[in-house]
């Protein structure tokens, strides 16, 4: 195992008593609990971590946080591997395995790097300009391009982890647990508001963790510990470390992705979720998300060993790692001087500090100077040397206006370059909340403008960079948020902490280090991950892509996994320079969720596998299962499709089920049908308006079939409705439409006809329904019933009775969907299974046979009964279906007016017919199209299609229902049905094939 030669002897937040070992690119290394993969690699002197997307340039660690564009790794193995993990965010655990990605055969020797040789022919958008000839070759070009696509690899097996979701409400959500966020949370919580504090890092403290300053005479570590302890002691506070607020949506709805077990690796507990998504509805939000340091844009600024100044400081202070031995700083603001001091104190040689500003005057700069470190005013790095690790920098003077390098170049050897081009507040969530940014020219950054939602930004996220001011602003924001949420209006903000404020000199932006005379900016990287250079930005502007959004899409700037956190502002500033526009006029691209990428798994939570979507079960479901039924999905219901006996094919089973029903008794679980109880003095009037036919004259105890349309006149649902009392009806609907029909009725009642006194209640779930059909059905039910008179005259077709069936109170309807004598027996759901059992046991002597939806479909098709959604598709009127007699002329009903529009009156509309293949053994596939004659050349005019088609065992032939243009006037004609391999002639007929006179209905 390699030694951690770059580990400092003391300090840091790592736990030296808990050493860990891990594997990177097949090599073993050591680290400690508290390390990230990045800090551990740096501790081992590993700077080359990955390769860039397009040119495969060697890349190292740029940052210490979630803004990292370069150090992306493939983490883990097998089904639990993760592509594109940022090494700077991966917490080290024992036996962690990671590898560089997008390189082959290895990160050190990567063949893809040949692209780099061609980089000059591959500027932004090159692919739009080539690969067009010869035309047929594009697919080969694309094949090659695709092989080069992507960064890491997807897992090749299902995810072993599970995920969780959690809804939560709070008065104040504080995003970011740096000093600002901690202060805000304290103030809000002290006012008794329910507070959630979320931070994406494993510890609270934010920038303070790397800073090493003093607050109120305490070390920053002590200050943080005290704040966290107080928050933890308050029960109205929820602390969420390792939790990234990823999205800020409408009406203060925010999502937080918590990484519960990622840092434990495979050692996590299987009973706990890997990650959890918090769905927060916050009354108020405080955004204390800090700021991102910007890189400098100079030649070869992407070499491993070149990093952000604050990151280097964090590696020293928080991780006790020396990122190098000999460092050159390059800055345009004072914050880098703090880092320089930290590094110097850690024993790292600071070779020089280059400052864009002529005379750095801040107190920190003075301190650095006092240590005898060379500060070079108005200097810049002209280029970095070294390939897989920076080895030196070439330093030159900037002219007065900083648009030219002048003087002679001086070479300074180094193994680390720390850069700081100023800070960009993390305004992502503010922007997602729809807030508009404003540009602050003094601080050279975009800051939040006016709030649109109940939200406020504070601290570095608000462009406030001094520690003392951050604390004050945090407290104020927290208290104001609590107050606005209705909590403790007279609490006060603690007085400003005592801390010697460090005067800072203003930042002087230098967006692009000019190329040396005769050179170009095509190695000046702006977007590291997508290899976008300053030259690409210039090219986009030259070619007319003058909107920042065009710039983004043409160059792919900001479209990588980091979404340009460190690069966007640099890019648009350079773009502005080329176009001669001010930065605020150039504007930013749109900030979109998520703040950092988030697993699909956590978005979905536990709604996977058997919980992906409910499966609705009837009270008899288990019986069907135990009999080996095959099921079909109908909406969320799972209904028995057919019940194969051992050795039976589907067709065998369906034939048997159909014949049994026609000849003896079949039994169907009809519990899924919608049942709606309709009551009130205006119930009949209401039904008159809903259905196409009339309802007022229906006698009590009788049933009627009805069809309902949408206002467009198209059939929407159908079913039988019974009149149970003077003001009491019982409507049935199709299985799939049960909820929609109830909602439809309520909508009309509540919104359009509030004067109608009607109440509708769903009874679907209260009742279980067994439908027994067949010539022997009466025998069976009569046998099980003593208090209903089954005599056909006393219990005629289309009527209903109440009584006890098999000892269970029941509502029995004599209606029929099969054409046979049939009774629908409804009992309370809890008794459904008992009823079914009894019917099966007692029915055995009559040959009772359970049948599924397939047999039901055959039986009703033999009768020409339609199924809404099969014979109809939203373009079919009741008249098309031949139901004209049911369409009232006397009253209005929903959709009536639509039936007299020119197109619904057209003579050649498609109408429902029967279709009999000339070859009686030929079962037409449903969905077949029907033509007059088959031409050899398309398009072939189609006159209709097959809606239902089966083999009818009873009729010993195939039958079908179809919608055919002018069909009703064409009975007897022959049409053609072209199939894949042949054309089947079929004869149009009336859509009733079985018992057209309806005798069988009486048994």
Ligand X SMILES: NC(=O)c1ccc[n+]([C@@H]2O[C@H](COP(=O)([O-])OP(=O)(O)OC[C@H]3O[C@@H](n4cnc5c(N)ncnc54)[C@H](O)[C@@H]3O)[C@@H](O)[C@H]2O)c1
Ligand Y SMILES: Cc1cc2nc3c(=O)[nH]c(=O)nc-3n(C[C@H](O)[C@H](O)[C@H](O)COP(=O)(O)O)c2cc1C
Nearest to 677 by CA among 583, 745, 585: 745
- For ligand Y, give the closer residue by CB, 590 or 974: 590
* Nearest of 954, 945, 944 to residue 855 by alpha carbon: 954
Residues in contact with 436: Cβ distance below 8 Å, sequence separation at least 6, in sequence order: 449, 450, 452
By C-beta, is 361 or 976 nearer to ligand X?
A: 361
| Site membership for other proteins, residue 622 (CB under 8 A) | yes
Euclidean distance between CA atoms 220 and 179, whole angstroms: 9
**11, 628, 796, 809: residue in contact with other proteins (rule CB under 8 A):** 809
Check binding of 97 to other proteins (CB under 8 A): no
The residues, any chain, with a CB within 8 Å of residue 542's CB and separated by 6 or more, are 578
Q: Which is nearer to ligand Y, 593 or 792 (CB)?
A: 593
Give the C-alpha separation, 582 to 696, whole Å.
75
Instruction: Tell me: does residue 253 bind other proteins (CB under 8 A).
Output: yes
Supply the minimum distance, in Å, between the C-beta of residue 284 and other proteins.
Answer: 14
Nearer to ligand X, 467 or 602 (CB): 467
- Minimum distance from CB of 163 to other proteins (Å)? 8
Least distance from C-beta 439 to ligand X, angstroms?
17
**Least CB distance to ligand X at residue 39 (A):** 15
Residue 874 as a binder of other proteins (CB under 8 A): the answer is: yes
Say which entry of ligand X, ligand Y, other proteins, none residue 178 contacts (CB below 5 to 8 A, set by partner kind): ligand X
Cβ proximity to ligand X, 256 vs 538, nearer residue: 256
Residue (60 or 290) nearer to ligand X, CB: 290
Element (H, E) at 666: strand 665-669
Kindly determine how many residues on this chain lie close enough to bind ligand Y according to the rule CB under 6 A: 5
CA nearest neighbour of 485 among 450, 447, 456: 456
Minimum distance from residue 88 beta carbon to ligand X (Å): 11
* Residue 149 interacts with, from other proteins, ligand X, ligand Y, none (CB under 5-8 Å by kind): other proteins
> What is the Cα 257 distance to its own chain's centre?
13
- CB-wise, 216 or 543, nearer to other proteins? 543
Report if residue 761 touches ligand Y, rule: CB under 6 A: no
For ligand X, the closer CB: 201 or 947: 201
* Closer CB to other proteins, 226 or 762, in the complex: 762
DSSP letter for each residue of 504-523: -PPP-----PPPPTT--STT
Partner in contact with 232, chosen from ligand X, other proteins, ligand Y, none, beta carbon below 5 to 8 Å by kind: none
Nearest to 683 by CA among 741, 734, 723, 640: 723
Provide the mask over 548-567, with x wherever binding to ligand Y is found by CB under 6 A and - wherever it is not: -----------x---x----
| Helical (H) or strand (E) element with 641 | strand 637-642
Q: Which stretch binds other proteins (CB under 8 A): 273-281, 294-302, 350-358, 715-723?
A: 273-281
**Burial degree of 632 (CB within 10 A; 0-12, 13-18, 19+):** middle
- Nearer to other proteins by Cβ, of 525 and 637: the residue is 637
Among 32, 204, 545, 954, binds other proteins (CB under 8 A): 545
Nearest distance, CB of residue 110 and other proteins, angstroms: 15
In angstroms, rounded to a whole number, what is the distance separating the alpha carbons of residues 464 and 457? 10
Give least dist CB 558 to ligand Y, A: 7
Please tell me whether residue 557 binds other proteins under the rule CB under 8 A: no
Rounded-to-integer distance, Cα 279 and Cα 247, Å? 10
Give CA–CA dist 276/237, Å, rounded. Answer: 18
User: For residues 273 and 887, which CB has a smaller minimum distance to other proteins in the complex?
Assistant: 273
Partner from other proteins, ligand X, ligand Y, none binding residue 842, C-beta < 5-8 Å depending on class? none
Among 567, 588, 618, 952, binds other proteins (CB under 8 A): 618
955 binding ligand Y? (CB under 6 A):
no
Q: What is the dihedral of CA 649, 655, 658, 660, to 10 degrees?
A: -90
In angstroms, how far is the first alpha carbon of the chain from the final one?
Answer: 88
What does the H/E/C string look like for 772-827? EECCCHHHHHHHCECCCCCCCCCCCCCEEEEEEECCEEEEEEECCCCCCCEEEEEE
Of the two residues 244 and 732, which places its CB atom closer to ligand X in the complex? 244
Which one among 26, 251, 372, 793 touches other proteins, defined by CB under 8 A? 251
592 contacts ligand Y (rule: CB under 6 A): yes
Asked whether position 601 contacts other proteins by CB under 8 A, the answer is yes
Query: Hey, CA dihedral for 884, 886, 890, 892, is it positive or negative?
Result: negative
Integer Cα distance of 347 and 67 in angstroms: 27
User: 3-class DSSP state for residue 440?
Assistant: strand
Chain residues in the site for ligand X (CB under 6 A): 175-181, 198-201, 206-208, 211, 244-245, 288-291, 335, 423, 426, 429, 459-461, 465-467, 470, 595
Q: CB neighbours (10 Å) of residue 946?
A: 21
The one segment of 70-78, 183-191, 203-211, 588-596 that binds ligand Y by CB under 6 A:
588-596
In a 3-state reduction of DSSP, which class is residue 986? Answer: strand
Q: Please report whether residue 79 would count as binding other proteins according to CB under 8 A.
A: yes
Give the separation between CA 53 and CA 227, rounded to whole angstroms. 42
CB under 8 A: which stretch of 407-415, 418-426, 760-768, 982-990 binds other proteins? 760-768
What secondary structure does DSSP assign to 547-570, as a single string?
SHHHHHHHH-TT-STTTTTTTHHH
- Residues binding ligand Y (CB under 6 A): 559, 563, 589-590, 592
């Amino acid at each position: 195992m390699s030694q951690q030669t770059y580990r400092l002897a003391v300090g840091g937040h790592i736990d030296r008593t808990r050493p860990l070992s891990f594997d990177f690119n097949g090599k073993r290394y050591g680290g400690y609990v508290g390390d990230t993969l990045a800090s551990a690699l740096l501790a081992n002197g590993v700077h080359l971590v990955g390769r860039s997307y397009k040119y495969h340039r060697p890349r190292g660690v740029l940052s210490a946080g979630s803004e990292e564009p370069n150090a992306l790794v493939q983490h883990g193995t097998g089904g639990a591997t993760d592509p594109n993990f940022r090494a700077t965010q991966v917490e080290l655990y024992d036996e962690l395995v990671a590898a560089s990605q997008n390189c082959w055969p290895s990160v050190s020797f990567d063949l893809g790097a040949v692209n780099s040789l061609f980089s000059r022919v591959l500027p932004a958008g090159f692919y739009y300009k080539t690969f067009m000839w010869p035309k047929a070759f594009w697919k080969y070009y694309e094949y090659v391009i695709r092989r080069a696509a992507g960064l890491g690899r997807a897992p090749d097996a299902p995810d072993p982890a599970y995920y969780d979701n959690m809804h939560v409400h709070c008065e104040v959500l504080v995003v970011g647990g740096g000093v600002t966020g901690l202060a805000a949370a304290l103030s809000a919580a002290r006012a008794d508001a329910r507070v959630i504090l979320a931070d994406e890092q494993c510890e609270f403290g934010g920038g303070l963790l790397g800073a090493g300053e003093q607050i109120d005479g305490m070390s920053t570590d002590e200050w943080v510990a005290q704040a966290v302890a107080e928050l933890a002691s308050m029960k109205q506070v929820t602390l969420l470390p390792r939790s990234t607020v990823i999205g800020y949506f409408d009406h203060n709805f925010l999502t937080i992705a918590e990484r519960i077990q990622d840092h434990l690796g495979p050692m996590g507990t299987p009973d706990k979720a890997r990650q959890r998504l918090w769905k927060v509805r916050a009354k108020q939000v405080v955004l204390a998300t800090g700021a991102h340091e910007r890189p400098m844009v100079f030649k070869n600024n992407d070499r491993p060993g070149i990093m952000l100044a604050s990151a280097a400081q964090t590696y020293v202070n928080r991780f006790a790692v020396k990122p190098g031995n000999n460092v050159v700083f390059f800055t345009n603001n004072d914050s880098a001087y703090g880092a320089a001091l930290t590094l110097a104190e850690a024993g790292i040689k600071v070779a020089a500090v280059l400052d864009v500003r002529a005379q750095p005057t801040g107190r920190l700069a003075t301190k650095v100077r006092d240590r005898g470190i060379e500060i070079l005013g108005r200097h810049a790095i002209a280029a970095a040397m070294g390939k897989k690790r920076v080895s030196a920098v070439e330093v030159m003077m900037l002219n007065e206006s900083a648009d030219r390098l002048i003087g002679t170049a001086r070479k300074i050897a180094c193994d680390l370059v720390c850069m700081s081009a100023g800070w960009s507040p993390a305004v992502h969530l503010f922007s997602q909340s729809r807030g508009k940014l404003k540009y602050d020219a003094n601080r050279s950054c975009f800051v939040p403008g006016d709030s649109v939602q109940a939200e406020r930004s504070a601290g570095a996220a608000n462009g406030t960079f001094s520690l003392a001011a951050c604390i004050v602003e945090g407290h104020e924001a927290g208290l104001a948020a609590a107050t606005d949420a209705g909590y403790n209006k007279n609490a006060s903000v603690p007085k400003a902490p005592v801390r010697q404020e460090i005067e800072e000199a203003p930042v002087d932006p230098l967006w692009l280090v000019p190329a040396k005379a005769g050179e170009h900016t095509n190695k000046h990287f702006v977007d590291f991950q997508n290899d976008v250079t300053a030259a690409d930005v210039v090219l986009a502007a030259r070619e007319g892509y003058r909107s920042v959004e065009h710039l983004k899409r043409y160059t792919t700037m900001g479209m990588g996994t980091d979404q340009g956190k460190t690069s966007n502002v640099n890019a648009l500033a350079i773009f502005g320079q080329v176009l001669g526009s001010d930065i605020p006029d150039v504007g930013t691209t749109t900030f979109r969720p998520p703040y950092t990428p988030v697993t699909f798994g956590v978005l979905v939570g536990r709604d996977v596998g058997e919980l992906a979507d409910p499966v609705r079960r009837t009270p008899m479901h288990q019986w069907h299962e135990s009999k080996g039924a095959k099921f079909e999905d109908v909406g969320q219901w799972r209904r028995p499709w057919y019940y194969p006996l051992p050795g039976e094919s589907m067709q065998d089973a369906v034939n048997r089920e159909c014949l049994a029903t026609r000849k003896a008794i079949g039994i169907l679980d009809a519990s899924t049908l919608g049942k709606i109880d309709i009551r009130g003095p205006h119930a009949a009037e209401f039904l008159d308006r809903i259905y196409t036919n009339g309802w007022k004259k229906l006698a009590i105890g009788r049933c009627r079939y009805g069809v309902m349309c949408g206002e467009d006149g198209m059939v929407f649902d159908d079913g039988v409705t019974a009149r149970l009392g003077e003001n009491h009806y019982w409507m049935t609907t199709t299985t799939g439409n049960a909820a929609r029909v109830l909602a439809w009725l309520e909508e009309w009642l509540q919104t359009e006809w509030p004067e109608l006194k009607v109440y509708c209640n769903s009874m679907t779930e209260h009742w279980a329904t067994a439908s027994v059909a067949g010539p022997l059905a009466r025998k069976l039910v009569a046998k099980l019933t003593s208090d209903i008179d089954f005599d056909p005259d006393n219990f005629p077709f289309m009527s209903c009775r109440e009584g006890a069936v098999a000892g269970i109170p029941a509502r029995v309807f004599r209606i029929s969907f099969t054409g046979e004598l049939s009774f629908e027996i409804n009992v309370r759901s809890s008794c459904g299974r008992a009823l079914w059992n009894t019917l099966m046991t007692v029915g055995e002597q009559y040959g009772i046979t359970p049948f599924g939806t397939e047999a039901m479909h055959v039986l009703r098709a033999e009768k020409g009964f339609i199924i809404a959604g099969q014979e109809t598709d939203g373009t079919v009127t009741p008249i098309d279906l031949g139901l004209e007699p049911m369409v009232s002329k006397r009253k209005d009903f929903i959709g009536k007016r639509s039936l007299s529009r020119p197109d619904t009156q057209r003579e050649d509309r498609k109408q429902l017919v029967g279709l009999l293949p000339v070859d009686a053994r030929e079962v037409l596939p449903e969905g077949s199209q029907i033509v007059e004659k088959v031409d050899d050349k398309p398009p072939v005019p189609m006159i209709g299609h097959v809606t239902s088609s089966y083999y009818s065992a009873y009729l010993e032939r195939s039958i079908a229902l179809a919608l055919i243009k002018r069909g009703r006037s064409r009975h007897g004609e022959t049409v053609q049905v072209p199939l894949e391999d042949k054309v089947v002639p079929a004869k149009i007929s009336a859509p009733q094939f079985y018992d057209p006179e309806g005798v069988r209905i009486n048994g």
